[in-house]
């Protein structure tokens, strides 16, 4: 007969949270815990702001009329525009136009 015995000193479920809280108080002290939580909250907020700003910038670049015109011009000239910035794309279009004499 096999008996599953779970040792009593291994916490399961909610006890982990209490152990982490008590460990944090022991390590950092009761006065530092709110400061650490506040700092982590600010850092998370700044990260999310940066992420939103970066997404906004990428959408702005990709949806601009100039970018669309450049992509159409590059496609008509047979230029692979993938991964090229606007400036690189303009240079490639100018180079192709000067080669073909248009």
Q: Is residue 57 part of a domain?
A: yes
Number of domain units in the chain: 2
Residues 71 and 84 reside in one and the same domain: yes
Q: Is residue 30 part of a domain?
A: yes
- Residue 42: per-residue pLDDT: 96
From residue 48, give the alpha-carbon distance in Å to each of 13, 45, 78. Answer: 30, 5, 39
Summarize pLDDT for 19-56 with one digit per residue, the tens: 888 888 888 888 888 898 899 999 999 999 998 998 88
| Whole-structure pTM value | 0.43
Residues 30 and 54 reside in one and the same domain: yes
Torsional sign, CA 34, 36, 39, 41: negative
What's the chain's average pLDDT? 81
Task: Report the C-alpha gap between 66 and 23 in whole angstroms.
Answer: 57
Region at 51 (left for phi over 0; alpha for psi -120 to 50; beta for the rest): alpha
Token pair of 32 as six digits: 């530092």
Q: Which percentage of the chain shows pLDDT scores above 90?
A: 13
Q: Structural domain of residue 42, as residue ranges? A: 15-63
Q: Is residue 102 part of a domain?
A: yes
- Which one is predicted more confidently, 38 or 6? 38
Residues 77 and 92 reside in one and the same domain: yes
List b or e across 30-42, with b for residues whose CB sees 16 or more CB atoms inside 10 angstroms. eeeeeeeeeeeee
User: Residue 3: is its pLDDT beyond 60?
Assistant: no
């Amino acid at each position: 007969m096999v008996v599953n015995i779970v040792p009593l000193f291994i916490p399961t479920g909610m006890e982990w949270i209490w152990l982490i809280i008590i460990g944090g108080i022991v390590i950092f002290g009761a006065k530092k815990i709110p400061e650490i939580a506040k700092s982590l909250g600010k850092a998370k907020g700044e990260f999310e702001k940066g992420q939103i700003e970066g997404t906004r910038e990428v959408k702005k670049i990709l949806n601009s009329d100039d970018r669309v015109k450049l992509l159409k011009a590059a496609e008509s000239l047979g230029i692979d525009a993938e991964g090229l910035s606007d400036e690189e794309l303009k240079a490639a279009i100018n180079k192709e136009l000067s080669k073909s004499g248009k």
